[in-house]
């Protein structure tokens, strides 16, 4: 997938030690299909050379509004008109103040002021010392820049080059890349509260053993990311997996089916869309041993009794909000065979408007998948593709259906 294919990004660097991250960011943007034009302030050139950025972007770097390479001597006009977005990373406290007041005494600030606001968005990745970040003047400037239409990508927290620790670090290149990709995605779920479950559950037999399944959680995490990209507020209830949390998503880690049910029922009252992607264990040991069950030399396996786990999807779908469609419920079915028949039966049994089926052994742990959408009117195939691509297709389909219900 090249999520930025066809996009032209002007990457602006202002002065700060975080300029070293801009090199990796430039490369990451290009790997995602974007073309990148680097523009640097004089201060930025004290931290990283234009030669480095030229080599990474494969384009000449601009730094002066008097650049003779432009026949009309107007790089501030030419470069801004070509851009799909201007990304300032790093954006220093000084440069933010300059943007706020509309000062334009060098090429980068001049270009930001001269850009067509309605066509060329401005994305800001701040980078500064923690005290500079917390200063009331900086916070006022940030608020006004956002009010003027700039998009603030936020800051990280941690050890800073000055030796202090706190907020103000520029986000890591991969985080910024994910934010830029999200910025360009259609905002079809703006205002929605999306609740997603993902991964397996783990049902304890004793303190060191348990019953689980092969679900990796990748599909559910992709759906959470896609929903956030689409403008929703997203809560992700995750079983025991080691995947990184998607940017901007609130994550709740759980272990057992009962833990997952409790977390879901706590957040379902404020959700508007529920996507039950998790592969929840149908059964659990009736009672878990307090100590490890040891072999006794008899060759006989211990006798385990089982009890049925709560049905999380049915519990939510059959609640008053689920029944009224105030909460739009989407179920998942991971089957090993006869996908269509099992998916249709499960949708009817759970009472959900949409059920998504897939073949578990063909997708668990994989980065791609193939989906079958089942509703009361029939079925729709989503051919095998990367899970994030499928997640975005599914989110678009959910958006269409929720608008129809509304």
**Residue of 90, 68, 100 whose CA lies nearest to 18:** 90
Distances (CA, A) of 333 to 160, 216, 348, 372: 47, 15, 12, 10
**Residue 384 within any structural domain of the chain:** yes
Last residue of a domain, one of 184, 215, 249: 184
**Residue 81 within any structural domain of the chain:** yes
**Residue 360 within any structural domain of the chain:** yes
Last residue of a domain, one of 136, 167, 184: 184
Read off the pTM: 0.91
**Residue 3 within any structural domain of the chain:** no
Cis peptide before 381 (omega within 30 of 0): no
Instruction: Classify burial at 232, counting beta carbons within 10 Å of its beta carbon; exposed 0-12, middle 13-18, buried 19 or more.
Output: buried
Q: pLDDT at position 299, please?
A: 81
Query: Which pair of structure tokens corresponds to residue 379?
Result: 């079925």
Q: pLDDT at position 221, please?
A: 97
How far is it, in rounded angstroms, from Cα 216 to Cα 240? Answer: 9
- Regarding whether 160 and 236 lie in a shared domain, the answer is no
- Regarding whether 176 and 216 lie in a shared domain, the answer is no
**Residue 61 within any structural domain of the chain:** yes
Sign of the Cα torsion 308, 313, 316, 321 reads negative
Active site residue 162: yes
- Regarding whether 276 and 382 lie in a shared domain, the answer is yes
State the CATH number of the domain containing residue 339: 3.40.50.10300
How far is it, in rounded angstroms, from Cα 275 to Cα 220? Answer: 8
Q: pLDDT at position 239, please?
A: 97
- Regarding whether 261 and 180 lie in a shared domain, the answer is no
Distances (CA, A) of 111 to 53, 80, 119, 211: 19, 6, 14, 59
Over the chain (406 residues), the average pLDDT of each successive run of 10 is 93 96 98 98 97 97 90 89 96 96 94 95 97 96 96 93 92 97 96 97 93 93 98 97 95 97 96 96 90 84 89 93 91 85 89 89 85 91 94 96 78
- Regarding whether 200 and 171 lie in a shared domain, the answer is no
How far is it, in rounded angstroms, from Cα 325 to Cα 316? Answer: 11
Instruction: Classify burial at 72, counting beta carbons within 10 Å of its beta carbon; exposed 0-12, middle 13-18, buried 19 or more.
Output: exposed
In degrees and rounded to multiples of 5, residue 40 shows phi and psi of -120, 145
- DSSP summary character for residue 295: P
- Regarding whether 248 and 115 lie in a shared domain, the answer is no
Among the listed residues 19, 26, 162, 329, the single catalytic one is 162
How many domains does the chain divide into? 2
- Regarding whether 198 and 123 lie in a shared domain, the answer is no
**Residue of 26, 48, 151, 140 whose CA lies nearest to 93:** 140
**Residue 292 within any structural domain of the chain:** no
Is residue 322 within 8 Å of residue 316, measured between CB atoms? yes
Q: pLDDT at position 304, please?
A: 87
Residue 135 lies in domain: 8-184
- Regarding whether 210 and 157 lie in a shared domain, the answer is no
């Amino acid at each position: 997938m090249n999520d930025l294919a066809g996009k032209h990004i002007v990457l602006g660097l202002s002065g700060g030690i975080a300029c070293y991250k801009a090199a990796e960011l430039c490369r990451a943007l290009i790997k995602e299909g974007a073309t990148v034009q680097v523009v640097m302030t004089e201060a930025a050139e004290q931290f990283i050379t234009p030669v480095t950025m030229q080599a990474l972007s494969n384009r000449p770097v601009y730094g002066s509004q008097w650049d003779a390479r432009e026949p009309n001597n107007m790089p501030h006009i030419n470069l801004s008109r070509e851009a799909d977005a201007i990304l300032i990373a790093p954006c220093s406290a000084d440069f933010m103040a300059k943007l706020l007041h509309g000062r334009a005494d060098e090429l980068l600030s001049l270009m930001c002021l001269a850009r067509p606001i309605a066509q060329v968005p401005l994305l800001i990745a701040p980078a500064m010392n923690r005290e500079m970040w917390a200063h009331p003047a900086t916070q006022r400037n940030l608020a006004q820049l956002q009010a003027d239409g700039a998009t603030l990508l936020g800051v990280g927290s941690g050890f800073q080059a000055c030796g202090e620790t706190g907020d103000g670090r520029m986000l890591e290149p991969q985080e910024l890349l994910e934010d830029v990709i999200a910025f360009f995605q259609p905002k079809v779920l703006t205002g929605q509260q999306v609740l997603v479950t993902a991964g397996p559950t783990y049902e304890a037999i004793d303190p060191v053993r348990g019953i689980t399944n092969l679900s990796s959680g990748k599909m559910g995490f992709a759906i959470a990311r896609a929903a956030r990209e689409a403008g929703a507020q997203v809560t992700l209830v995750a079983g025991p997996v080691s995947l990184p949390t998607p940017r901007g998503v609130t994550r709740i880690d759980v272990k057992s089916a009962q833990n997952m049910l409790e977390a879901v029922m706590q957040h379902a009252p404020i959700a508007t869309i529920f996507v039950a992607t998790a592969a929840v264990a149908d059964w659990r040991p009736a009672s878990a041993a307090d100590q490890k069950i040891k072999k006794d030399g008899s060759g006989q396996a211990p006798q385990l009794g089982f009890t049925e786990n709560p049905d999380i999807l049915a519990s939510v779908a059959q609640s008053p909000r689920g029944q009224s469609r105030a909460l739009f419920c989407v179920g998942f079915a991971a089957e090993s065979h006869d996908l269509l028949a099992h998916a249709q039966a499960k949708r009817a049994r759970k009472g959900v408007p949409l059920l998504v089926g897939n073949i578990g052994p063909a997708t668990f742990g994989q980065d791609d998948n193939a989906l079958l959408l089942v509703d009361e009117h029939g079925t729709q195939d989503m051919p095998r593709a990367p899970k994030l691509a499928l997640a975005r297709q599914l989110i678009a389909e959910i958006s269409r259906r929720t608008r129809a219900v509304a």
